[in-house]
Amino acid sequence: MISLTQIFAHFKDLGLGQKITHGFYLLGPLFMLIERSPADAWLSLCGLIFLGHCIISRNWFWLKTLWVRFTFLFWLICIVSAVLSELPLYSLGEAIAWFRFPLFAFACCFYFCRSIEIFYAMAISIFIGLLLMTGILIAEIFLVGPQSGRLSWPYGDLTPGNYLAKASLPIFCVLVAIAVANKGKLSLIAAIISLISISVSVFAGERINFISRALGGMLAGLSWKPKLLPYCILICIELAAVFGVFLFNDTLANRFGNEFVSQLPINSESPYMRVWKGGIIAFQESPIIGIGPDVYRKSCPSLTEGIDNIDCHTHPHNFYIQLAGETGIIGLVAGCLMICSIIVACFSYRRVDRNNIFTAVAYVVPLAVFFPLKSTGDFFGQWNNLFMWSAVAFALASGNLLQERKA
């Protein structure tokens, strides 16, 4: 591990340009606490800084990485699908704009976090972001209260649940792993923070986000030096806390109980099945190359006209159904190759070094955010991707810690 003294010493040794660019990079989790526009500007500028560095240094070694190549393959198919769609200019713009998210992951892995000290500094920044968002939600619970079973103040949308479940997921996994490793006071502090954080996630009202975060934490707890008794105790306490929330809040209990079960895609009348059907019809319309990235939101009403039991939303609420509908079977296969290669890359870090907590739990992050059997946000959308790719980028960047092991 790296101490704060080492981080500050490393930062002091950087040139002025790198102090500015790397300092800007480390502010990301705080930008995401503000609003989507500054967060998007941060992510996009980090990608452009990386490209500028590659052009100036003429160093393109990262293009040889397997998950990078599969990402470019998927992006190329998205562009072809967009050009062949009924709305080529709109879809092409969306396909091109989407690339800023994996580009940020490239920047994180192959430029900013090539320095181990910067990696640990970003871990601290994400941890601070987790604490601040948890604090914001606790304040809302006491000052405003849940609105329609959800916490969204001061954002007015679903930002809190998404932030906790995605942007802060890498550090939440680390906290749970520390909590069950029986490391004395450190484990106790990690357990308290993770317990408060997961309890607040319930109040956020984002059911799938809560479930994926909770299951991700449980898997992370088994991934780095777990002790069975502390693990079982922590799980029991967290379950008791969650059910305690349900006991005193009927709205949340119903939202996570009867209402949630009634919406599961187990029959043609269920809300999620009604939404997923639209994506399936889009796939049937153009099974090879799809109807074009992000075209579903504009084409769904016309595609499903006269068909019963279908609800048209801006997206089908499942990554893989959306990819099938908007990029066809070719794009779905390429997208799965990209996702699987990212998960395999992160899991390979664990195989090399299980002693470092970040490399041990890294695979949990892409596995949780890309898990196929759940409802999701828009694969090509802005806010969802900001949170998702920031977490995936950090997980991928943990591979740089293998340099520390070699040293």
Domain ranges of the chain: 25-263+316-401
Ramachandran region, residue 237 (left: φ > 0; alpha: ψ -120 to 50; beta: rest): alpha
Report the alpha-carbon distance of residue 101 to residue 167 in Å, rounded: 13
Instruction: Report pLDDT for 106.
Output: 97
Contact yes or no for 338/70 (Cβ under 8 A): yes
Closest CA to 53 of 76, 20, 10, 26: 20
Contact yes or no for 207/248 (Cβ under 8 A): no
Instruction: Report pLDDT for 296.
Output: 92
Instruction: Report pLDDT for 392.
Output: 96
Instruction: Report pLDDT for 152.
Output: 65
Instruction: Report pLDDT for 206.
Output: 75
The DSSP call for residue 390 is H
State residue 231 phi and psi, 5-degree precision: -65, -50
Burial (0-12, 13-18, 19+ Cβ within 10 Å), 91: buried
Instruction: Report pLDDT for 405.
Output: 58
Instruction: Report pLDDT for 259.
Output: 73
DSSP assignment string, 44-80: HHHHHHHHHHHHHHT--GGGGSHHHHHHHHHHHHHHH
Report the alpha-carbon distance of residue 122 to residue 128 in Å, rounded: 10
Percent of the chain scoring above 90 in pLDDT: 52
Q: Which positions ≥6 away from 54 have C-beta within 8 Å?
A: 60
Instruction: Report pLDDT for 267.
Output: 66
Instruction: Report pLDDT for 340.
Output: 97
Report the alpha-carbon distance of residue 389 to residue 395 in Å, rounded: 10
CB atoms within 10 A of CB 186: 12
Instruction: Report pLDDT for 145.
Output: 65
Residue numbers in the chain where pLDDT is lower than 50: none
Report the alpha-carbon distance of residue 184 to residue 3 in Å, rounded: 19
Give the position of tokens 């029986």. 182
Instruction: Report pLDDT for 304.
Output: 85
CB atoms within 10 A of CB 2: 17
Q: What angle do CA 68, 99, 383 make, to 5 degrees?
A: 120
Buried (b) or exposed (e) across 276-291, using 16+ Cβ within 10 A? bbbbebbbebbeebbb
Instruction: Report pLDDT for 165.
Output: 85
Report the alpha-carbon distance of residue 283 to residue 390 in Å, rounded: 29
Report the alpha-carbon distance of residue 267 to residue 120 in Å, rounded: 47
Give the position of tokens 């059911």. 207
